[in-house]
Amino acid sequence: MRKLETYKPIQARVTYKSPLKIKSDSLQKLSRDKRAIVCIFFLFIVFIIGIFSPLLAPHNPEELFYESILEAPSKEHLLGTDAIGRDVLSRLIYGVRVTLTVSLMAVTITFFIGTLIGLICAYVGGWVDNVLMRIMDILLALPSIILALAIVAVLGPSLTNAMIAVGIASIPGFARIIRGAAITIKSSGFVEASRSIGSSHSWILRRQFLPNVTGILLVYTTLFIGVAILDTAALSFIGLGAQPPTPEWGTMLSEGKNYMLDAWWLATFPGLAITIVVFAVNFLGDALRDIFDPKSSR
Amino acid sequence: MGLKHVSKSFLLLTILALSMILIIACSSDSASTSNPDKNPSKVTSSPQSGGTITIGLKEEPDTLDVHKTAMSAASNVTSHIGGTLLAINPDTNELEPYLAEDYQVSDDGKTITFKIRQGVVFTDGTPLTAQVYKDTFDRILNPETGATVAASLIAGIEYISAPDDQTLIIELKAPSAPFLRNLASPGYLQPLSKAAIEKHGNDYGRNPVGAGPFIFKEWVTGQSITLDRNDAFNWPQVSSKNQGKAYPDHIVYKFIKDDQTMLAALDSGSIDIAMGVAPKDVQRYRNNPKYYVLENERQGLGLFLEMNLENKVLSDLNVRTAINMAINKDAIIKAVINGEGTPAYGPIPGTIFGYDPNVENYGHKLNKDKAISLLEQSGFKKNGKGIMEKDGKELALELSIMAPQSQAAQMVQAMLKDIGINVNIQSMEAGTLIEKATKGEYDLSFLSYSYSDPDILFLLFHSSQIGGLNHVRAQNTELDKLLEEGRTTIDPEERKKVYASIQKIVVENAYWAPIYAEKNFYVVNNRVQNVKLSKVTIEYQDSWVQQK
């Protein structure tokens, strides 16, 4: 019930304004929000680094430098080398690719299945809603990382499976939020009007439901990217995600933790990278929420 | 002929004990060095009674019934609550009397007569007699007991008799070179009180009774095991300076799995001795006058690569040799064990009897170009991606490892990629790895072993051991014959020659890519004085706790 309450004002808005109007309105707000701009800019740079990592990285991330094992940051190796002589900076840069790919793919899975389940529950209602939501409730009872662990345990440890596991593990939360937002639209006047003139179900879902939950979708998709990055890193940390020698931040962190006292740079840099990127993603998500959720807007 | 009858699961457990568990009890070397001389001068020179020695153990034993365990953690704990017939002098590494005052080996080498020491009493009051030893060994050899390591140590026994309280006669099936040293294995072969076993039944493993310097007091699952001093004890092994009861009141073992937590406990003083400290962490303590470091070399190989001969690609000697030549052992030693080890070129290290130093000359050395040309001789060609290819198939192998070997695995992966072999690392639990290796369901696999005698090569390479420890599935008649000879040859010089030929065959056939033999480290707080590392165990008989 509380969720429903939260999104009520959206319904009020929606009934008075066309969806298109909301969009241009929000873009304007976004461009005025400095922190959002900074985050978007930062994430854009991270993205560019990911795309051009072969050009940017000083070394091959899998190359072993036998002569400089566990070397502190120096000119040759700006962020030092790891326990078996690989360049930390290069691994970090290539790690961007892995991290972004995995988290975006995971969120895509969450996004499509979660939205579908959420909208169907809201639109169909009745026993379909009840059954689907009870299943989601059961899954929600487990922390998402435990669920992801269980899925990886079944599928076997690999990056692709980690991607699938993290994606699936986030579905229940996502579906619940979308359902909450969509259920308020169901009872609105324009939906009833469309129904009474005989519009098809798919038309109503596509043209009336979807546009009205776009804001919420955007906010939560962004926030879930942060969650996905963390979950992927966590799975890799315990050895169930990226397999060696793939440069992945969680794996690097895990390999570095045994050297905390001897080689601080091993765990520090991947740790910082995860923190900063997740921080930026969450900040952006918060900014978007302020814009799309009128209740919390200033 | 010892171990032939032993079942698969038994071998599985044996290697679990032999190879992967933190090797404390079974490990060691001929040059075991302790350096308490470096200790600062504030320490008094005369031993004091009282106090507690607290030891950090990485693993919790499964049971303290020495016949049913295969864990070196269990043998380590139980070695202090019981004795052995013979013991090893920590300074000279020679055999010396302990619970047997004296022994005689018959001319044919098959009959050994022991004279049991008098006045030895179990902590439940039963006296130690030859009959007790016979009962103990009978229990080990009884298949219903399910004995694993203990059974493998005395597997050569044909018949035991105890004509009187002091005389124990052991008849062997065949002369056995390693048998007497096996009897000195700490923990596993201690005499057990029959009364205590009958009293506790299945709970005996949680209530062990022995005739050693300490008495089992309590075991808090997941936390610790506490031993109290046995005040009646006055029968230590001959070389101990202290011929009476031990000095400390208690010994406490705390189970600490994580390396960093173990060191933090050592730093904070909540443990006095850290077992199995990683080489990279040792340096810190060497330079700190508050601690002293004990070290010994592993009796066995700390890391080697097994190759499955039943794999189509690996059945080609050229491929196996190429893999041997692609591995940079020095780089792995430097990175993985901080340089604290020696590269291995053959299947046994210098610490095991029969090691042929010549192996360093004929063993495979790092030679990338030769490795590549060997692969090319076998019809492989580098493709566009730099990977070797034959008949349109890329040369790809799977390397099975346990999580702690990940660093070495990634290095080997990179090294083999350099000569065009794609390696995919599969990390798994120890049990799964051994099961797969035993069944031959693997391509490449990392493993380690510890053993006191070159007879381990019989288990590792004899064709009768396929389905057991012969993971590479070697079937070589010449090698089989030599391995059988090595078991029964008693004359040391002859035996050395046999094992020299065995090493040569194993290296020439490149069944393994041996990588290194490393050192084991124990860091001891200065508070505890005179801790000794013998060839087979860590000794507290002469140790005392510095009182404030």
Q: How many CB atoms lie within 10 A of CB B357?
A: 10
Indicate the residue of B411, B417, B425 with minimum beta-carbon distance to A84: B411
| Cα–Cα distance, B169 to B167 (Å, whole number) | 6
Q: Compute the nearest-CA separation of A66 from chain B (Å).
A: 6
Question: In Å, how far are A144, B164, B537 from B248, measured between CA atoms?
Answer: 51, 36, 18
- Enumerate the residues of chain A whose CB falls inside 8 A of the CB of residue B425: 243-244
Q: Is the dihedral of CA B250, B256, B259, B263 positive or negative?
A: negative
pLDDT of residue B13: 44
Residue B62 is encoded by which pair of tokens?
């499964």
Give yes or no for A84 touching B (CB within 8 A).
yes
Q: Determine, for residues B335 and A258 on separate chains, whether the beta-carbon distance falls below 8 Å.
A: no
Q: State the greatest distance between any 2 C-alpha atoms of chain A, in Å, as a whole number.
A: 77
* Cβ under 8 Å to B: A residues 222-241: 239
Nearest CA-CA partner of B356 in B496, B254, B495, B240: B496
Phi-psi region of B457 (alpha: psi -120 to 50; beta: other; left: phi over 0): alpha
pLDDT of residue B446: 94
DSSP chain A: -HHHHHHHHHHHHHHHS-HHHHHHHHHHHHHH-HHHHHHHHHHHHHHHHHHTHHHH-SS-TT---TT-TTPPS-SSSTT-B-TTS-BHHHHHHHHHHHHHHHHHHHHHHHHHHHHHHHHHHHHH-HHHHHHHHHHHHHHHTS-HHHHHHHHHHHH-S-HHHHHHHHHHHHHHHHHHHHHHHHHHHHTSHHHHHHHHTT--HHHIIIIIIHHHHHHHHHHHHHHHHHHHHHHHHHHHHTTSSSPTTS--HHHHHHHHHTTTTT-HHHHHHHHHHHHHHHHHHHHHHHHHHHHH-GGG--
- Paired with B113 in beta bridges are B104, B169
Q: How many CB atoms lie within 10 A of CB A62?
A: 18
pLDDT of residue B225: 96
Nearby residues of B165 by Cβ (< 8 Å), 6 or more positions away: B116, B129, B130, B131
Residue B186 is encoded by which pair of tokens?
């700490």
In chain A, whose CA is at the least distance from the CA of B263? A261
Spell out a b/e string for B278-302, using b for 16 or more CB atoms within 10 Å of the CB, else e: bbbbbebbeeeeebbbbbbbbbbbb
Nearest CA-CA partner of B274 in B538, B2, B6: B538
pTM of the predicted model as reported, rounded to 2 decimal places: 0.77
DSSP, res B424: E
pLDDT of residue B23: 34
* Cβ under 8 Å to B: A residues 134-173: 157
- Enumerate the residues of chain A whose CB falls inside 8 A of the CB of residue B400: none
**Could you confirm whether domain A42-292 is CATH 1.10.3720.10?**
yes
Residue with tokens 């560019």: A48
- Enumerate the residues of chain A whose CB falls inside 8 A of the CB of residue B335: 66, 69-70, 83-85
DSSP B270-309: S-SEESS--HHHHHHHHT-TTEEEEEEE-SS-SEEEEE-T
Nearby residues of B454 by Cβ (< 8 Å), 6 or more positions away: B348, B352, B353, B354, B355, B486, B499, B502
Give yes or no for A214 touching B (CB within 8 A).
no
Q: Determine, for residues B410 and A84 on separate chains, whether the beta-carbon distance falls below 8 Å.
A: yes
- Please report, in tens digits, the pLDDT of each residue of chain B (548 residues total): 344 444 444 444 444 444 433 333 333 333 334 444 444 434 556 888 999 999 999 888 889 999 988 777 888 899 999 999 998 887 777 888 899 999 999 988 899 999 999 999 999 999 999 999 999 999 999 988 888 778 888 888 999 999 999 999 999 998 888 888 889 888 899 999 999 999 998 899 999 999 999 999 999 999 999 999 999 999 998 888 889 999 999 999 999 988 888 999 999 999 999 998 988 889 889 989 999 999 988 888 999 999 999 999 999 999 999 999 999 999 999 999 988 999 999 999 998 889 999 999 999 999 999 999 999 999 999 998 889 999 889 999 999 998 888 899 999 999 999 999 999 998 888 778 888 999 999 999 999 888 878 988 998 999 998 988 899 999 999 999 999 999 888 888 999 999 999 999 999 999 999 999 999 899 999 999 999 887 677 889 889 998 86
Reported ipTM: 0.74
- Enumerate the residues of chain A whose CB falls inside 8 A of the CB of residue B264: none
- Give SS3 for B249: coil
DSSP, res B127: B
Give yes or no for A68 touching B (CB within 8 A).
no
pLDDT of residue A20: 47
Q: Determine, for residues B411 and A64 on separate chains, whether the beta-carbon distance falls below 8 Å.
A: yes
Residue B76 is encoded by which pair of tokens?
């380590």
Residue B192 is encoded by which pair of tokens?
């057990």
pLDDT of residue A294: 58
Q: Answer yes or no: are the C-beta atoms of B74 and B294 closer than 8 Å.
A: no
Nearest CA-CA partner of A169 in A125, A215, A234: A234
Domain spans of chain A, in order of start: 42-292
Q: Exposed, middle or buried, B159 (CB in 10 Å: 0-12/13-18/19+)?
A: exposed
Terminal CA-to-CA distance of chain A, rounded, Å? 25
| Cα–Cα distance, B273 to B262 (Å, whole number) | 10
Q: Compute the nearest-CA separation of A83 from chain B (Å).
A: 6
Nearby residues of B508 by Cβ (< 8 Å), 6 or more positions away: B362
Give yes or no for B328 touching A (CB within 8 A).
yes
| Cα–Cα distance, B263 to B273 (Å, whole number) | 10
pLDDT of residue A225: 93
Give yes or no for A255 touching B (CB within 8 A).
yes
Indicate the residue of B335, B409, B415 with minimum beta-carbon distance to A83: B335
Give yes or no for B335 touching A (CB within 8 A).
yes
Q: Determine, for residues B411 and A239 on separate chains, whether the beta-carbon distance falls below 8 Å.
A: no
- Please report, in tens digits, the pLDDT of each residue of chain A (298 residues total): 444 444 444 444 444 444 545 556 777 878 888 888 999 999 999 999 999 999 999 999 989 998 888 889 999 899 999 988 999 999 999 999 999 999 999 999 999 999 999 999 998 889 999 999 999 999 999 888 888 999 998 998 888 999 999 999 999 999 999 999 888 888 888 888 888 888 888 888 888 888 888 888 989 999 999 999 999 999 998 888 888 788 999 999 988 888 887 889 999 999 999 999 999 999 999 888 888 765 554 4
- Enumerate the residues of chain B whose CB falls inside 8 A of the CB of residue A83: 335-336, 407
Helix (H) or strand (E) holding B524: strand B512-525
